[in-house]
Amino acid sequence: MDVSSSSSLFSPSSLLSSSSLDTNLFAVEPHEVAFTQGSLKLGADVSVGLGNGLKRVFEYLQDELADRKVALKISDDTEHIISIGIDADVVPENEGYILNITEKGISIVAHDEQGAFWAVVTLLEVVDSSSKIAGSRIKLPCLTVHDWPDYSVRGFLLDVSRDKVPSMETLYRLVDRLAKYKINQFQLYFEHVFAYRKHKAVWKNASPFLPEEIQALDLYCKRKNIELVANQNSLAHMHRWIMHKGYKELAETPSTVSKKNLERENYEHEGNPGYSLCPTNPGTLELIEGLYKELLPNFTCHTINVGLDEPNDLVRGGEKSRALIRKKGISEVYFDYLQNIYKLVKSFGNDRVMQFWADFIITEDELIRQLPKDVVPLLWGYEDEFPFEMGRKFYENGIRWFVCPSTCSWSSIGGRADDAIKNLSQAALKGKENGAAGYLITEWGDNGHHHPLSVSQLGLYLGARFSWNTRSAKKFSSDSLPLLLDNHVFHDKNHKMGQISLKVGDVYKQVLKPNSTLTCCSALLRILVFNNDLPDREVLESLSKEGLQKAIETLSESKKHLQEAALDGWEGGLVLQEYHWVIDALSFAAKFGIVLLENPAIKSVNDLKKSDRKELLKELIPVLDLYKTTWALRNRKGGFEDSFRRLDHLRTLLK
């Protein structure tokens, strides 16, 4: 089979919309697919005809098929079992491809190298779902897939600063997953977890990433068709810098900076004063320039996310910049700093691209018109009906912008599944309608990052699915989700884990009164993690005793089903251990919530009857012990103490 002539084998116009077919076979739903009569028997040795510039695609396919006991080799003969080529006339969509499986062989024609890579990912899904026959031969169904992404950038951001710093093995396996979901950008959210040479005081207890680790991860991402994007917050969220001697002078509100307070507060300390750099202090730009000089050379991608979100110290009127804010206004002070950061980024090369969070500037129409045309604003919003359509302002001013929804796992333990589904789907639809060029799934770790990575897989998967094909968001039904999760996330042949993750992920709603206004968190997390002697009154008033009792029943049932799950692959055991802890922690929280509701007059946990405290403590200690074990499954030691003390605060009160 000649690669150059393979495009004549099929016509894209003859394909059916995937909406008319059962597409559970595919992790992300193709735009057009048609199954035809017949099958192809794939043997243990397969020859490949390869077009120019596709070495990376071949190596990926070769490695993956080797794991499936199929040997792949490039052949110069005119007849091949598999042919892979590029023809932008046949496939006009960027990153698009046509995969054709007939009784005679497999043909891939793509718009570009990226499209050929995604075609291989789809082919491997077909291989994995196909039946084995005599020996090591695989019987593939005949089909044709014509597919392309609706968003040119489909990214995932992982918070590694609050407080979980994952092991390299965890990151490599995560990148494998991202490739299978056709994600093409990956970011690690950095505040203080890169080992900058001159700033050891900041990161010495954080188990930071070394330059050579980032370089290795960057190379691994490239092999998987993914760009690793540099990320360093550069204004707010810098409390872990300014709390140290020698950096406090760079704070916007140095009088409010307290290392003791920052290390003692358990919930939402980042919203308090004293966590931003001063944008009008020349020393701030000197610091940031030094950070970029060390960080950027470790990435082959020339994009950097500079942060600039939530400048709360400025919004409150500032301290160091107060006089200038009164003279020029906060908007001008902020925009001057943004422009200085932009110039700094460009000083490392005119091809550098600056991403920044758009929460402040989105309401500043005049400043939007003044933005450089090559910046990329990132519009984040994590509620059900967040107005992502506001981003159209950027599009109308000729600026590429991204929608940035969330996995909705942060400030929870078991996730917030319904919030995630609604937020991720709305972002996909509103972004496409209003000219967004990218879709960045965010996975945050606010308030201790207590939820394990397996809890966030639901949101990551759906975000990938919705951003590749927004039609799948428009017609999405939760009824189909358990099977999709079992097939493409948890690989549970007994089909239990998908339903468990949904049930556990919706417990946060089950415990609330119907009129509760609690948002962007789980009440069950907030009755475990709090600052003083008793959970916040707002949280306690949102809870329903009947709902807490039903939650305990749901969690008990889920734990029984957990014993019946049969997860394949290297991650199966990790997922089961993590969910075991999640269920135990949520069950304890629900029981504790009932005790608190039965004692409305107390002013401190210590005011509970001694017998109640003793019983609660007896149940809490195993939860804390298991948290230590679960943490070590995927993460480094750094950050653990900061996360653990937030849970351990309750133990000290119960004693």
239: CB partners within 8 A, 6+ apart? 257, 262, 269, 270, 274, 275
Catalytic residue among 93, 227, 310, 319: 310
Q: Are 105 and 82 in contact (CB under 8 A)?
A: yes
First-residue to last-residue Cα distance in the chain? 75
Please list, in sequence order, all residues whose beta carbon lies within 8 angstroms of the beta carbon of residue 37, skipping any fewer than 6 positions away: 142
Q: How far apart (Å, rounded) are the C-alpha atoms in residues 224 and 227?
A: 9
Max Cα–Cα distance, the chain, nearest Å: 84
Phi, psi of 105 (to 5 degrees): 165, -170
Q: Tell me, rounded to whole angstroms, the distance of Cα 627 from its chain centroid.
A: 22
Find residue 256's DSSP bridge partners.
none
CB 119 within 8 A of CB 148: no
CB-side exposure of 267: number of CA atoms within 13 Å?
22
> For residue 175, is it left (φ>0), alpha (ψ between -120 and 50) or beta?
alpha
Angle at 65 between CA 63 and CA 66, to 5 degrees: 65
- 383 a catalytic residue: no
Peptide bond into 163 cis (omega under 30): yes
Q: What angle do CA 125, 127, 131 make, to 5 degrees?
A: 125
**Which residues does residue 153 pair with via DSSP β-bridges, in sequence order?**
438
**Exposure of 610 by Cβ count < 10 A (0-12 exposed, 13-18 middle, 19+ buried)?**
exposed
Residue corresponding to tokens 């390869």: 50
The helix-helix angle for 330-346 and 282-295 (nearest 10°) equals 40
What positions carry a catalytic annotation?
310
